[in-house]
Amino acid sequence: MKKIMLLFVAVIATTMLFAQDVIVTTDSKKIEAKIVEVSSQQVKYVEFNNQEGPTFVLATDEISSIIFSNGQVKVYEHNTPKSIVVQPEIKLEYIHRNGNKYFYDGHQMKGDTYAQFLRNNCSEAFYEYRRGLITANIGWCLLGVGVGLDFMTMAGLPYVWIPALVCEIACIPTLIGGYNAMHRSADLFNSACVGKSQAYWSVTASQNGVGLALNF
């Protein structure tokens, strides 16, 4: 008889143990409770171990799920806002030139790499560089034609030296103008696309004579 009574008490105790409701919050916290009222906006409950105590109120936005004592589970779905990734603004740095070499962020950029960099980041500087490159190529072509005509002159062809001389003379200002335009592309980049230009000294001529000018 005692064994039956003990078994009966154990069954009652187990039933009471599993008669609790469990509230799982959005931060994974579990609350052992006795649900008093459930609405669309909030859930009222008392603590399972203190059912004579105060009634607590929890907003449904803070609840992930409720496991009721009868085994039913109520899951709350919340619309999680999509995270917006803001890309930091990349500020362009200065291009530094040493002769015909161009450096950006400590790295040398050659020919096509430099042109592509300007195309992607500063259209004004790119068009200036491309204009200078075309002009310089024309200058080299003139020089090549002039040298070729010189060989023809040495071979005995009469009057060929005249167009040879014209081409060789014409190539000089053409090459200078082309390379100056290519070099100006770096200054144009620094002034138009970075925000300020580098200061440099240049020789100027005026009615008062020749002097040095500081350019910005």
CA atoms of 23 and 37, how far apart (whole Å): 13
For 35, phi then psi, to 5°, come to -70, 130
> pLDDT tens across 90-136, in order?
677 888 888 888 898 888 888 888 888 888 888 888 999 999 999 99
CA atoms of 130 and 122, how far apart (whole Å): 12
Biggest alpha carbon–alpha carbon distance for the chain: 140
- How many alpha carbons lie under 13 Å from residue 210 in its C-beta half-sphere? 2
> pLDDT tens across 158-187, in order?
888 889 889 999 999 999 999 999 999 988
Residue 119 tokens read as 């195309």
pLDDT at residue 90, as a whole number? 61
Q: Which contacts qualify for 77-83: CB closer than 8 Å, 24 or more apart?
A: 78/26
